[in-house]
């Protein structure tokens, strides 16, 4: 059974890099049956997770909540914007995941999103997001074990 956790984001833009910070925290946990990948801003890294039984993406998501709000949703819950793509470099995370589901055998793709506070130049997370890292990693571990996460998460 192949399980992957991929952190997506730009660590140069403070809270935009939350996915990368979370996977670094997960590297400290003994997850012998899970591949943990820091994807940065390169969505091509998702190709490493083809034929996954479970794929968990961690990324900043603007959902309108308070900074640090954690969201959980499946890729099927997201609708695509109707726009013309001029190149494959115009593809979003959602576009990429939907194509991967068509091309590869991915049983379940889950996105754990975190509401950012500050997306601006800088390497540090805002205090609101930094203090949520343990809760985010707990949510991912629960997801990997097919259990309901503790605390509130919006879908």
Domain ranges of the chain: 3-144
Answer with the residue of higher pLDDT: 3 or 51: 3
**Number of helices and strands (H, E) in the chain?**
4, 5
Q: What is the mean pLDDT of residues 23-44?
A: 91
Answer with the residue of higher pLDDT: 94 or 139: 139
CATH 3.50.50.60 fits 3-144, yes or no: no
Taking the model in full, what pTM does it have? 0.84
- Looking at residue 96, its pLDDT comes to 63
Q: What is the mean pLDDT of residues 57-74?
A: 94
Per-residue pLDDT reduced to its tens digit, 106-142: 788 899 999 999 999 999 999 999 999 999 999 999 9
Is the confidence at residue 87, as pLDDT, over 60? no
Q: Do 41 and 58 touch, CB atoms closer than 8 A?
A: no
Looking at the chain, the whole-number percentage of residues with pLDDT higher than 70 is: 76
Q: Do 103 and 34 touch, CB atoms closer than 8 A?
A: no
């Amino acid at each position: 059974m192949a399980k992957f956790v991929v952190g997506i984001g730009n660590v140069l833009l403070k809270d935009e890099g939350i996915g990368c910070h979370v996977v670094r925290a997960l590297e400290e946990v003994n997850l012998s049956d899970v591949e943990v990948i820091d994807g940065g801003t390169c969505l091509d890294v998702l190709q490493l997770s083809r034929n996954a039984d479970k794929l968990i993406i961690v990324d900043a998501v603007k959902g309108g909540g308070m900074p640090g709000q954690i969201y959980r949703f499946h890729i099927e819950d997201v609708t695509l914007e109707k726009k013309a793509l001029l190149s494959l470099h115009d593809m979003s995370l959602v576009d990429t995941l939907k194509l991967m589901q068509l091309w590869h055998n991915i049983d379940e793709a889950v996105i754990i999103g975190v509401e950012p506070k500050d997306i601006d130049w800088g390497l540090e997370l805002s205090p609101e997001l930094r203090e949520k890292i343990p809760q985010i990693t707990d949510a991912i571990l629960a997801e990997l074990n097919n259990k309901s996460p503790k605390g509130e998460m919006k879908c």
